[in-house]
Structure 1
Amino acid sequence: MAKTQLNVRVDEDTARAARERALERGMSVNRYIEELVRQDTGEAGHTFVEAAADFMKQYESVFAEEFGTAREGRTQSPRERRGEGKSLSR
């Protein structure tokens, strides 16, 4: 996506806070402001869900190996795998 320059004026306390927060998060002030606007417009939530879904697809086999495979439409709990009773989850 093409970038557009946007100039804004804020008081010094706001500018300082933006710089500090961006630094804490390891990102530029531009990226920090962009993230805030995306969150405000709801795009960040959608982006997070997409990233989480991609992560789960990428590591699905690791999770299946670690936590067991689906059985009867659900996954065994760690207690079930140890023989300590049935899970209440479905």
Structure 2
Amino acid sequence: MGKKQLNVRVDATTAEMARERAEQQGISMNQYIERLVLQDMGETGLRFVDAAAQFMKEYESEFLAEFGDPVAPGDRQGGRR
């Protein structure tokens, strides 16, 4: 995958902290920023999955009433979820 250059402006203290953290981890500033973005996206994905699970937990009975149980009772392993 090709790289895309980004230019960002941060205050001097933030820039120095980022440089120090990258150095502590033995990676370049580019790698450090890329890791932060990927980490943030992973956390966002987890929050989405958690929110979707909570939504389904709250509204499961309404879905079952409207659409029925898509899994035949004998097909479940270990009983009801």
Normalising to structure 1: TM-score of the pair?
Answer: 0.46
Deviation track 1:25-72 (CA, whole Å, cap 9, x = no partner) reads: 0000010000000000018xxxxxxxxxxxxxxxxxxxxxxxxxxxxx
Unaligned 5+ segments in structure 1 are 44-90
Unaligned 5+ segments in structure 2 are 44-81
Task: State how far apart, in whole Å, the 2-side matches of 1:9 and 1:40 are.
Answer: 19
Query: Aligned AA for 2:36?
Result: L
CA RMSD of aligned residues (A): 1.2
Aligned match of 1:21:
21
Percent identity over the alignment is: 65
Between Structure 1 and Structure 2, which shows a larger proportion of strand residues? Answer: 1
Normalising to structure 2: TM-score of the pair?
Answer: 0.52
Aligned match of 1:4:
4
Which consecutive segments of 4 or more residues in structure 1 shift more than 3 A? Answer: none
Between Structure 1 and Structure 2, which shows a larger proportion of helix residues? Answer: 2
